[in-house]
Structure 1
Amino acid sequence: MQNSSLTARVLLLASLWSALALVVIAVTISTLYRQGAERSFSDLLRAQLYNVINSVSISNENTLTGSPQLGDLRFAQPDTGWYWVVEPLGNFTAAPLVSSSLGVASLPVPGILDAPFDSRYERFYPVVDEAGNRVLVAETEVVLDGEGRAARFRVTGNLDVVEDDIASFSNSLYIALAIFGVGSLAVNGFAILFGLRPLDRAKVALGKVRSGDAERLEGTFPREIQPLATEINALIDSNRRLVERARMQVGNLAHSLKTPIAVLLNEARLLDHQQGELVRTQAEAMQAQVQSYLSRARIAAQRGSILARVEAEPALERLVRVMRRLNSDKNFTLQVAPAGLVLAMEQQDLEEVVGNLLENAARFAASNVSLTLEVSTQAPSDPEDARRTWVNLVVEDDGPGLEPEQISEAMKRGKRLDESKPGTGLGLSIVSEVASEYHGTFKLSRSALGGLKAELLLPGLSKEHV
């Protein structure tokens, strides 16, 4: 439930509540109908009981006489469960009167303690007749004349009639509620999906910000979502101000250091060769060190910015074109798959790391340098980073390459394995630091071309997934 979508959770809770409500409604209505049906059945038997009482009397021959007409053919059909019986009580010994449906059979009579009379001197109790029918008996005792002679009157009805009626009603009720429930779930689902559509619009708007197509969340949102959109826009504005402030400070620092370093380099030319070369080398190293730390500060300031995006292929094509012009004797190849890969980093940072790698490869390659960029199947171990898309950037050459023990030396800041080649020894170190600042990785190994293979893992985002 914690990781499921909001739509799924709302649909699940609404479905569970609707199902529970329908079950409670079905049970309640069925119970109330049963109570009403049983009460109506008892009232019917009571009416028939008094109809029998009004139809029976004592004749001049001291016998029970009468012919009750209850208007129901079931009292005339055997073993139906619908009977009436009039039995004399006490010293009155006349023959009992029974319905033709009962015939010579008899009905059990429970004791007073098992089925007591109510305030109207009536009692109702269920019994099973000799035919196996469950019947409900309505019974009372009535004094028939002034001499105190009395009789017990009983009328029965088959309880299967009530149960069949209740079952028929319950089945109809359950079918109706099931149809209503399915319809309600469909309507609830549509209402929930329709109600949550503004969240989809907010997602699309945020995706445009992530892809760089928009600078703010654009669109009209309901008042429940508008405060969130406002806060996100405020966060974007604050982030943009922080990045711009960091860039301005970096630029100011670079400008303030540019002149002193340039003065040192100019003064180095006036010194004798040995001292001048030493000062020049150290000034260039200092210049590279300053640039490296300024780049790290700038990257740290903007690393969390959702606006840091660069389309990889055009930027890499520009770098390859420059390297081809500067190294006309070398063959440079570029492969980007799939097309439209977008890296979550600043363009100048991408150009700096790739430029360093291409320059290093061109310096030592015999004739071929390869640059490839593709979506990676691996990701850093950090859970936050693992949810993003990552890409592999690989630069290979067919030069002499490096042995494993030389690779660790080459990664050290300021370390140059070949002093005959120009450079400060900071290129690979800068590449590693930039990759680390973007939570990526950088490693060197032997290339299939025979030379060095430099592999970068960088944060990226494919446009078709934006």
Structure 2
Amino acid sequence: MPAAPASPSLLLRLLLSAALALVVSLALVGLAVDRGFRSASAGALEERLASTVFLLLSTLDVAADGQPLVSEGLAEPRLEQPGSGLYAGVLTESGEWQSASLTGVLEPPRPFRVGRGQERFVGPESDARFFLYALGLGWEQPDGQIVEMTLWAGEDPERYRDQIRAFRADLWRWLGLAALLLIIVQSLILLLSLRPLRRVAHEIGEIEGGERERLSGRYPRELQPLTANLNALLLSERDNASHYRQALSDLAHALKTPLAVMKARLESGESVTAEATADELARMERLIRRQLERAARSTRRTLNQPVAVLPVLERLAESLRRLYRDADVVIEVDGDEQVRVRADERDLMELCGNLLDNAAKYGRGRVLAEVRTGPAGARESGVEIRVEDNGPGLDANTFARLLERGARGDEQAEGQGLGLAIARQLVEAYGGQIDCEASATLGGAAIVARFPPR
């Protein structure tokens, strides 16, 4: 099967994503700043032209015939310089006045008239040849006659455009430098942030090479669930391999006797009937099945889906109530419906079934099953399944003996002495442990199956 093509590294993906987001963000910022600067510059231009108009108004006079008169020596020297780019003028019905700066200008501004008390500004948003500001006034003559006039000021747009171009060049230069600096800083941050992942990959390589058995570095909180699950999986695989090797060894040892019997019969020349051969084969088949079941039970399970414990206990309790109806056994179940254990549901059913059945069988009519977690929740504190009875109780030595296969606490009761042994195998397969305590509630034994945090 051809190898899958290598995908881009996580670092490269993060760098490209961060760089793209950064460039887009700075571009939007640059556009917003540019727009704000152009708007502010247009406002400043209007104020500057309006100031020129009012400066012109301060030196204005009107002749008796309505001709506008402006005294020489204006406070704005650019109005006296031909072709300076700043122009001004006064329009009346009898004539007009223009600043000396219009001298020699081939395409002078085309001022417009506005009504008395009105003003008009033609700025950068228009396609006009010049930026213009006009103000309409009524000038009262000594004889009471009102002379309508328009004062205007204009400016060549090149000055404004040069200012905008210079600002944009500086803006994008600094934004580009800022983007480069931020990308470098972001790269360093990503390199430092991804160091734990590179360390995980390095340690996994050492595990593959046989140089270490587990991940042992100190990792950030976000990676601890990953490393803990990987260590659990590694431990599970080692345990499973060990159990299967032991099972194969036990199977080989168990098959030696029937094979030796069959070999001896064949070598002795004794006639072997089909029935005898079938018996030996059936015996070997039972041995093989038993060893495989034992190996399957002893393997450690990982990465199972969480299973709610309380519904399992309630279903089993209902079945046992019907089974022990004539014995008048009271079985109570208590706990939180949200408590879950990462285990195979069939294993959980068998574990709880063995514990409940033992309590009902060897107790004195009362059984209490509970599922508990610590205050922080199952992931941090683990899960406890407690099955208590009101029987005579168990001491430590008796309980340790009952955990062995075939050991029985009551030789008169039915059974093969496998219940607690199977329960221990199931709990230990998930990294837990099984203990016996005195029941503070019922006074008998309390068998506690503890599952580790997951």
State the TM-score, normalizing by the size of structure 2: 0.54
Structure 1 counterpart of 2:13, from 6, 9, 14 = 9
Q: Secondary structure at the match of 2:249?
A: helix
Unaligned runs of 5+ in 1: 277-281, 306-466
Q: CA deviation at 1:32?
A: 0.5
Structure 2 partner of 1:197:
195
Structure 2 counterpart of 1:86, from 60, 67, 90 = 90
Code of the residue aligned with 1:207 in structure 2: it is G
State the TM-score, normalizing by the size of structure 1: 0.52
Q: Distance in 1 between matches of 2:20 and 2:66?
A: 71
Write the deviation string for residues 158-217 of structure 1: whole angstroms up to 9, x where unpaired: 111111111101100100110111111111011111101000111111112222222211
Q: How do residues 411-422 of structure 1 correspond to structure 2 at under 5 angstroms?
A: none
Q: CA deviation at 1:98?
A: 1.3
Q: How do residues 74-223 of structure 1 correspond to structure 2 at under 5 angstroms?
A: 74-89=78-93, 93=94, 95-103=95-103, 107-110=109-112, 121-125=118-122, 134-145=129-140, 146-223=144-221
Q: Go from structure 1 to structure 2 and tell me whether the alpha carbon gap of 1:154 and 1:198 turns closer, same or farther (over 3 Å shift).
A: same
Structure 1 partner of 2:247:
249
Q: Go from structure 1 to structure 2 and tell me whether the alpha carbon gap of 1:195 and 1:80 turns closer, same or farther (over 3 Å shift).
A: same
Q: Go from structure 1 to structure 2 and tell me whether the alpha carbon gap of 1:256 and 1:152 turns closer, same or farther (over 3 Å shift).
A: same
Q: Distance in 2 between matches of 1:86 and 1:194?
A: 70
Q: Secondary structure at the match of 2:134?
A: strand
Q: Secondary structure at the match of 1:153?
A: strand
Write the deviation string for residues 315-373 of structure 1: whole angstroms up to 9, x where unpaired: xxxxxxxxxxxxxxxxxxxxxxxxxxxxxxxxxxxxxxxxxxxxxxxxxxxxxxxxxxx
Q: Go from structure 1 to structure 2 and tell me whether the alpha carbon gap of 1:88 and 1:4 turns closer, same or farther (over 3 Å shift).
A: same
Q: Secondary structure at the match of 2:81?
A: coil
Do the aligned partners of 1:134 and 1:160 also contact (CA within 8 Å) in 2?
Answer: no
Q: Secondary structure at the match of 1:101?
A: helix
Q: Go from structure 1 to structure 2 and tell me whether the alpha carbon gap of 1:165 and 1:97 turns closer, same or farther (over 3 Å shift).
A: same
Q: Distance in 2 between matches of 1:26 and 1:104?
A: 40
Do the aligned partners of 1:82 and 1:101 also contact (CA within 8 Å) in 2?
Answer: yes
Q: Secondary structure at the match of 1:228?
A: helix
Q: Go from structure 1 to structure 2 and tell me whether the alpha carbon gap of 1:48 and 1:6 turns closer, same or farther (over 3 Å shift).
A: same
Code of the residue aligned with 1:154 in structure 2: it is W
Q: Secondary structure at the match of 1:261?
A: helix
Structure 2 partner of 1:45:
49
Q: Secondary structure at the match of 2:146?
A: coil
Q: CA RMSD in A?
A: 3.7
Q: Distance in 2 between matches of 1:168 and 1:24?
A: 19
Q: Go from structure 1 to structure 2 and tell me whether the alpha carbon gap of 1:196 and 1:69 turns closer, same or farther (over 3 Å shift).
A: farther
Q: Distance in 2 between matches of 1:77 and 1:66?
A: 16
Do the aligned partners of 2:49 and 2:133 also contact (CA within 8 Å) in 1?
Answer: yes
Do the aligned partners of 1:209 and 1:216 also contact (CA within 8 Å) in 2?
Answer: yes
Q: Distance in 2 between matches of 1:62 and 1:181?
A: 62
Q: How do residues 353-392 of structure 1 correspond to structure 2 at under 5 angstroms?
A: none
Do the aligned partners of 1:133 and 1:158 also contact (CA within 8 Å) in 2?
Answer: no
Q: Distance in 1 between matches of 2:129 and 2:109?
A: 11
Do the aligned partners of 2:46 and 2:123 also contact (CA within 8 Å) in 1?
Answer: no
Q: Secondary structure at the match of 1:141?
A: strand
Q: Secondary structure at the match of 1:263?
A: helix
Do the aligned partners of 1:81 and 1:134 also contact (CA within 8 Å) in 2?
Answer: no
